[in-house]
């Protein structure tokens, strides 16, 4: 059976800078797969390449075997790839409700939009409480919930999460990772997670890839990497 998402020998550039140097990875239906690595390793570039913001010069991006390599971002969304970017990217002047409606821009069925919104509010009760509040006035944790909720309005086949714990207090980090686990276990959402907090990411993931300067250096089950001396020394700070 083919993977839900697959990258084959992907090379992505920023101008003359060779950012991804032959990345190959796969994410199977129902998995949480995490990409870990230091700043500048190419983690966010990988997600941007998948979501069509960047186009690789060589290699392929496949969604359930269908080529996605050079199609525009809105077509990637239509195909079922949701991207929660680094920095959350909520619309600061739009209300929580309007931000969520932006996530459902492909839908015309008002009943289906309402059903999906209720699903988001069940997952994130705080968003229901702040439904008329501008997105820019929410706390960092609430903005992260809103960004995830907006992506969920698309009902994506796979969700790309870029640094969801960045800038959050430890208690909120724990809450965000509990939400990621619930999304996967209760709603069956397949997730590709980019995260600098390697310990938290490996504890929630099924499998992991380690990126170093645009190449995958190590891959395996999350449990294997949690106990790998190279990972412990380089990324877990133990």
64-83 per-position pLDDT tens digit? 999 998 899 999 999 999 99
Model confidence pLDDT, tens digit, residues 41-63: 999 999 999 999 999 999 999 99
Model confidence pLDDT, tens digit, residues 18-40: 999 999 999 999 999 999 998 88
pLDDT at 140 over 70: yes
Whether the Cβ atoms of residue 180 and residue 164 lie closer than 8 Å to each other? yes
Question: What is the pLDDT, as a whole number, of residue 236?
Answer: 73
Question: What is the pLDDT, as a whole number, of residue 64?
Answer: 94
Q: Model pTM greater than 0.75?
A: yes
Between residues 194 and 196, which one has the greater pLDDT?
A: 194
Q: Which residues contact 50 (CB under 8 A, 6 or more apart)?
A: 5, 7, 61, 68, 76, 81, 83, 160, 192
CA dihedral for 2, 51, 112, 149, sign (positive or negative): positive
Q: Which residues contact 178 (CB under 8 A, 6 or more apart)?
A: none
Q: Which residues contact 190 (CB under 8 A, 6 or more apart)?
A: 4, 5, 27, 28, 29, 30, 31, 32, 157, 158, 159, 184
Question: What is the pLDDT, as a whole number, of residue 86?
Answer: 86
pLDDT at 174 over 70: yes
Q: Strand ranges (DSSP E) for the chain?
A: 5-14, 17-27, 32-36, 58-63, 66-67, 81-84, 158-162, 190-194, 207-212, 215-221
Find where tokens 């979501």 sit: 51
Q: What whole-number percentage of the chain has pLDDT above 70?
A: 98
Find where tokens 């003359």 sit: 16
Which H/E stretch holds residue 224?
helix 222-226
The mean pLDDT value of the chain amounts to 92
Question: What is the pLDDT, as a whole number, of residue 187?
Answer: 86
Question: What is the pLDDT, as a whole number, of residue 1?
Answer: 54
Q: What are phi and psi of 223, to 5 degrees?
A: -65, -40
pLDDT band at 237 (very low <50, low <70, confident <90, very high): low
- Domains of the chain plus CATH, in order, are 5-94+157-236 (3.40.50.300)
């Amino acid at each position: 059976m083919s993977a839900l998402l697959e990258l084959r020998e992907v090379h992505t550039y920023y101008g003359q800078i060779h950012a991804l140097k032959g990345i190959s990875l796969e994410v199977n239906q129902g998995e949480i797969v995490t990409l870990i690595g230091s700043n500048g390793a190419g983690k966010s570039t990988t997600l941007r390449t998948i979501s069509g913001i960047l186009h690789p010069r060589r290699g392929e991006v496949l969604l359930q075997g269908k080529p996605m390599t050079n199609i525009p971002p809105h077509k990637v969304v239509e195909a079922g790839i949701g991207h929660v970017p680094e920095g959350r990217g909520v619309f600061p002047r739009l209300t929580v409700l309007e931000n969520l409606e932006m996530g459902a821009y492909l839908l015309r069925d008002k009943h289906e939009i309402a059903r999906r919104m209720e699903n988001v509010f069940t997952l994130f009760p705080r968003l229901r409480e702040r439904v008329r509040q501008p997105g820019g006035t929410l706390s960092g944790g609430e903005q992260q919930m809103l960004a995830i909720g907006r992506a969920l309005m698309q009902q994506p086949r796979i969700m790309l999460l870029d640094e969801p714990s960045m800038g959050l207090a430890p208690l909120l980090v724990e809450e965000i990772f509990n939400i990621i686990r619930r999304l996967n276990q209760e709603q069956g959402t397949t997730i590709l997670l980019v995260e600098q907090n390697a310990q938290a990411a490996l504890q929630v993931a099924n499998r992991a890839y380690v990126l170093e300067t645009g190449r995958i250096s190590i891959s395996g089950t999350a449990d294997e990497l949690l106990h790998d001396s190279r990972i412990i020394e380089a990324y877990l700070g133990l």
